[in-house]
Amino acid sequence: MIQKDKGMKAAIQGNTGYKLPTNFTYRMMQQIENEVALRNRRQERRVFFALYLTIALLITGGATAFVYLYGAEVKQLFSASFAHLCDKDIRIAYLPILSAVPFLCILNFWLKRKSMRQ
């Protein structure tokens, strides 16, 4: 029994020749922090996915219920409105608006790109 203890003491006191780097604890803490941040990002991704899925299902269900309950009335309303839009005078009145929309879209794109460069 005494000989065993002496062997253990010698093994513990013996110099293995390997020393840890001086920044070992810093690097280990950095790896732990990176792992925690990665887990948090994964958890956030799961939460956002569940949130977006819930929102999509609610919107789809609401639209389905709306069409089921009020589909005929909405169809009559739109058919009467679109029949009125077939008049030539109405189409001429909307011509300036339809020609201004592409111009304004191009202007918006150009201004955004210009502000990004500065």
Give the tens place of pLDDT for each residue, 101-111.
999 999 999 99
Identify which has the larger pLDDT, 4 or 104: 104
pLDDT digits (tens, 9 = 90+) for 63-113: 999 999 998 888 888 777 777 666 677 777 788 888 999 999 999 999 999
Pick the range with the lowest mean pLDDT from 2-11, 16-25, 60-69, 95-104.
2-11
Say if 94 falls within a structural domain: no
Residue 36 inside a domain? The answer is yes
The separation between the first and the last C-alpha atoms of the chain, rounded to the nearest angstrom, is: 80
**CA separation for the pair 90, 98 (Å, rounded):** 12
Domain, as residue range, for 28: 20-70
Q: Would you say residue 58 lies in a domain?
A: yes
Q: How many distinct structural domains can be found in the chain?
A: 1
The pLDDT score that the predictor gives to residue 20 is 76
- Does 32 reside within a domain? yes
DSSP code string of 67-83:
HHHHHHHHHHHHHHHHH
Looking at the domain assignment, is residue 43 inside a domain? yes
